[in-house]
Amino acid sequence: MKSRAEGAAEFVAHLAASVERGSRLGTKDELRVRCGVSVGTFNEALRLLLVRGVVTVRPGSGGGLFAAEQNPMVRLGNSVLALDASEADVTEALRIRGALEPLLWQDALWHASPADVRDLRVILKEMREAAEAGDADTFVRANWNLHRRVADVAPNALLRSLYTNLLDLVASHTVGVQPGAGLSLDEYVLDRYRQHAAMVDALDERDEAALMRHVADHDSVAGGVIKG
């Protein structure tokens, strides 16, 4: 299920796609009202739009949000959204996303600030609380938010755009969680939490060898999302 921020971002993205590049879409408040969301939710949607290169923001009189002049790298990343989301497409999206994971975390290793790490630990806390409560749906949403936050750190625009769009494709066609063989759902979710905590710890310690090992373990675990 899409979050309200993702829904608002999708609305603005469709609006931006319907006008010429560089066209003014409106002020933040005007667009927020059209989306029917809170200030905090719209700010999160705006963050997603800026990361994906969909809009630009200009201050002052006559400012607001404008449809971005997308470069070829951003267009390539956004083209993932044009896929027909059949089961085969989602499976391929998962496979490609998994191949990008080491690059994403390796970039984040050398560019994450203390503030970035603090944000990741806040999300990890949400994951742990959801895992301990046996709330798999909330856990998965927090898990995706963690990966999106890692993508925010990556300086490579092409990698960031490709990865986040693949993640959005998978997230929008996920209906539940399926544990790996021999694990209960609760065990699976707790194990995933521990894996992500180890990845963030290694990132914080700038331990590249440990991080790459944890990322490989994370990607090799059987089970995962049920795609609808």
Contact 93, 170 (CB under 8 A): yes
| pLDDT at residue number 227 | 32
- The pLDDT tens digits for 83-114 are 444 556 667 777 888 889 999 999 999 999 99
The answer on pLDDT for 176 being more than 80 is: no
Query: SS3 of 64, please?
Result: strand
Half-sphere exposure of 220 (CA within 13 A, CB side): 6
- Distance (Å) of CA 108 to CA 94, 118, 156, 161: 20, 14, 10, 15
| pLDDT at residue number 170 | 76
| pLDDT at residue number 157 | 83
Instruction: Tell me how far apart the alpha carbons of residues 28 and 104 are, in angstroms, rounded to a whole number.
Output: 30
| pLDDT at residue number 70 | 60
Closest by CA to 27, choosing from 65, 67, 68, 66, is 65
Which residue carries 């409106």 as its tokens?
26
| pLDDT at residue number 106 | 93
- The pLDDT tens digits for 16-73 are 888 888 899 999 999 999 999 999 999 999 988 887 778 889 888 888 999 987 655 4
| pLDDT at residue number 212 | 93
